[in-house]
Structure 1
């Protein structure tokens, strides 16, 4: 957004901008939003300077009034004096970073009301993570036909261009340590992997570049750390900022609800489900998964209720690194889903699901694309627990018969490691493998 603001300013099309920052004494305070923009308008638009100054001289308290009053008095009123001017752009970045959901909605209501009362020579560009209440406001009748939604961050081509430019700059500026490193650097396959990991989001790319560009280290060594499957943690972690962002977002879920959230995250980290599919798997009421993920739309793409089939291809994450984060206990901390207790709990949920009547479930194992075809591999990743045998023995044979040969053999090999070996169960699964 800062790049966009500079471009608009050079083109003479920028009216004002405000960049929210969480917990910042001024940039986190929505009450200074429109007073700041009014000040910028007074500086950048000559005919507005006297009009805005006059409003403040007549009523100095206006800069401490409500958000809506500031917008109306400091901006809307003066701008109506010259309604035929070419439209200017006002940028508001990080709306979700200011304090409180009610304040987010108050700002959006104030902007919409200002255009309802009288046309204004402005276009607003509002950047935010897609939090549920913000999305719902834009999708409501209030903003019907007056806004356009853009995913301005997700672009694989743009991220690749950014990486190419930044790596070339780093190679040039770190000439003392990079003089023996030939171009192209990094190699194309490394660059492609970084672009893929980014999921097309600049937040990932910018964090990586900041990490590699540290003047206290050799860029080639820092890149090697980034490319490791198991990253170092602490001050040498490439993903400290990204990890903290994930933790901040997940921490918005109330503590009392986090055990259920962990179950949902563990399921999504290992299989793909629709919201309804997760409700069935975890024994939730219909709609519970949507409620749990409602505030996490900046991480997950949760399909609409009309788009819910097939059950194994619906919910996805916006960022390829998120599941790496969940699978690393040092990075995800209290949201770690790779622990034996969480994975065993998921295995139990799957086995209970397959103990039900085949026709009562929405999971069609007969479809070779169903990821639950691979549930024997997931169970076999656990130690050979005899405690799981009652659940394994209760699995409906109709499910077993739809499993492909390889998963069946994996399950048989795992059961043979249990002591004493469950001969009856082995025979049943062996019969289904014939």
Structure 2
């Protein structure tokens, strides 16, 4: 931009080596020719003319550069997958128009109350009770009213769990929704572009507290900031620190009558429940509990099931021999409602299972649901009443064909359990899972098709997304208990030949670390870490680029170090 300006000034025959009079106090140079005696420019011997905008051009350039710097710094550290309207959350959970009406109205009234006793609301309840649906609905309403400052939805399966990226995400959204905030935050980030990389408390103070206090006199309407599923944030201490920071700032907002309202939701996990009394002994924070036993939860499930089953019947009307016959019957609906026990997630999962397009048989799917909900398809030792959601997940897994169930479980193991002990860079993503265990695309997709009620699979990339983290927790539990006849040890046994094949390939191509760089004894106590490291390094090899899965018979193990072969051979 500066080079273009110099060319323009030369074209106009203006001496750029001399200081223009009044240039710092005016945006125009009036009657100025640069002080030359002789000139051959376009405006030679001209007078009484105006050249406007010379200073303004430079200011716009600086402002534009500053804006770009600020937004880029925030964008680098923000987590767009955790935003209200992110594609990865689509379609997000929402309240049915007829459910949670009383609670939603109460929260809206609290937001509008400038004399509220607390500027922080904690919404809590068990997994699957509908906390995210409530906050999604509240956030969308606030956005329609131009009240929404920011919303952050923690979600472990999509790696939206990093506490150090919460503040940049909130700041990025505040910058977009509040022009006054933008004017304050941009210079801050230009002066110190590494704020988004600093400690959580520093980020919160610099990116959120200070700018919002600065513009407090300009706030004419509520600014709502929502943090959902805090229990899925990585690290108990980080969860507690976020609560402490938000609570302290919310109290300051209350004392200064600022229209900033914070809403946090979580499961009632111990580290969260025990922390609130320490920072809030007087219980000033507003608390809203969602309970499966309360009337609203029961009514929500009843309405959701009723309308959902009606939609399924309308969608698959061609499979019903008698269009006027009731489906489901009142008795069938009663069984489902009793087992759902006030859990909207249970109802949502059940509806996806019954209305699965890949099956196209809602009548048969409903009959199967009723059988396993009554306990007829479960082992005697499994009590379907103790945990209805786990009972539902068991039934869905048992509906998988026994011939492909081991493959399905192996894919789930690598997707869920392996992530808990491998570094992020070793996580299997997209088609890497299929490559690792030598599955072609058709077999990979077919082994996951029966699980479409609990997860979604991108047909192009093969990426797996869980609808709720409770299914991920359930998968970890069944491998710990060996409920389906396969334990974690069995899964490692199945992964062993694949890991060795990839190990041999990488060793052969000269990209594997030398044997003496692999530390630790090869006895039984260190067997798991050894296999984990082996799997992790083969995953790193796959992730280096697009790799075609090799058939097992194409790989030999001549170059594998003997300690590895001995260890695996004796296991």
Q: CA deviation at 1:148?
A: 2.2
**CA 1:20–1:194 in structure 2 vs 1: closer, same or farther (change >3 Å)?**
same
Residue of structure 1 in register with 2:369 after alignment: 226
User: What is the rounded CA distance, in whole Å, between the counterparts of 2:302 and 2:228 in structure 1?
Assistant: 23
Residue of structure 1 in register with 2:312 after alignment: 170
User: What is the rounded CA distance, in whole Å, between the counterparts of 1:230 and 1:331 in structure 2?
Assistant: 22
Q: CA deviation at 1:181?
A: 4.6
Instruction: For structure 1, list consecutive stretches of 5 or more residues without a partner in the other structure.
Output: 253-321, 338-434
Contact persistence 1:153–1:202 (CA under 8 A): no
**CA 1:163–1:23 in structure 2 vs 1: closer, same or farther (change >3 Å)?**
closer
Q: Provide the alpha-carbon RMSD of the alignment.
A: 3.6
Q: CA deviation at 1:165?
A: 1.9
**In structure 2, the residue corresponding to 1:193 is in which secondary structure?**
helix
Residue of structure 1 in register with 2:154 after alignment: 20
**CA 1:121–1:169 in structure 2 vs 1: closer, same or farther (change >3 Å)?**
same
Q: CA deviation at 1:192?
A: 2.4
Contact persistence 1:137–1:143 (CA under 8 A): no
Identify the match of residue 39 of structure 1 among 161, 172, 178: 172
Asked if 1:109 is matched to 2:251, the reply is no
Q: CA deviation at 1:99?
A: 0.9
What is the TM-score when the length of structure 1 is the normalising length? 0.52
**CA 1:190–1:4 in structure 2 vs 1: closer, same or farther (change >3 Å)?**
farther
User: What is the rounded CA distance, in whole Å, between the counterparts of 1:163 and 1:70 in structure 2?
Assistant: 44
User: What is the rounded CA distance, in whole Å, between the counterparts of 2:171 and 2:224 in structure 1?
Assistant: 13
Asked if 1:236 is matched to 2:399, the reply is yes
Q: CA deviation at 1:135?
A: 0.8
Contact persistence 2:244–2:279 (CA under 8 A): no
Residue of structure 1 in register with 2:263 after alignment: 125
Contact persistence 1:29–1:98 (CA under 8 A): yes
Q: CA deviation at 1:111?
A: 0.8
Residue of structure 2 in register with 1:53 after alignment: 186
Contact persistence 2:277–2:283 (CA under 8 A): no
**In structure 1, the residue corresponding to 2:284 is in which secondary structure?**
coil
Q: CA deviation at 1:40?
A: 1.0
Instruction: For structure 2, list consecutive stretches of 5 or more residues without a partner in the other structure.
Output: 1-131, 378-394, 401-407, 421-469, 484-571
Asked if 1:92 is matched to 2:92, the reply is no
User: What is the rounded CA distance, in whole Å, between the counterparts of 2:369 and 2:208 in structure 1?
Assistant: 47
What pairs up with 1:129-208 in 2 under 5 angstroms? 129-142=267-280, 144-152=282-290, 154=292, 155-178=297-320, 180-182=322-324, 184-208=326-350
**CA 1:143–1:162 in structure 2 vs 1: closer, same or farther (change >3 Å)?**
farther
For CA contacts below 8 A with separation 6 or more, give which structure has more relative contact order: 2
Deviations 1:36-75 (A, max 9, x none): 1111111122322222223222211111112222222112
**How many positions carry a matched residue from both structures?**
256
Contact persistence 2:250–2:262 (CA under 8 A): no
User: What is the rounded CA distance, in whole Å, between the counterparts of 1:33 and 1:219 in structure 2?
Assistant: 42
User: What is the rounded CA distance, in whole Å, between the counterparts of 1:233 and 1:63 in structure 2?
Assistant: 43
User: What is the rounded CA distance, in whole Å, between the counterparts of 2:277 and 2:336 in structure 1?
Assistant: 34
**CA 1:74–1:6 in structure 2 vs 1: closer, same or farther (change >3 Å)?**
same
User: What is the rounded CA distance, in whole Å, between the counterparts of 2:205 and 2:325 in structure 1?
Assistant: 56
User: What is the rounded CA distance, in whole Å, between the counterparts of 1:203 and 1:169 in structure 2?
Assistant: 18
User: What is the rounded CA distance, in whole Å, between the counterparts of 1:46 and 1:235 in structure 2?
Assistant: 54
User: What is the rounded CA distance, in whole Å, between the counterparts of 1:102 and 1:29 in structure 2?
Assistant: 12
User: What is the rounded CA distance, in whole Å, between the counterparts of 1:219 and 1:134 in structure 2?
Assistant: 41
Residue of structure 2 in register with 1:364 after alignment: none
Identify the match of residue 71 of structure 1 among 204, 209, 214: 204
**CA 1:184–1:143 in structure 2 vs 1: closer, same or farther (change >3 Å)?**
farther
**CA 1:185–1:70 in structure 2 vs 1: closer, same or farther (change >3 Å)?**
farther
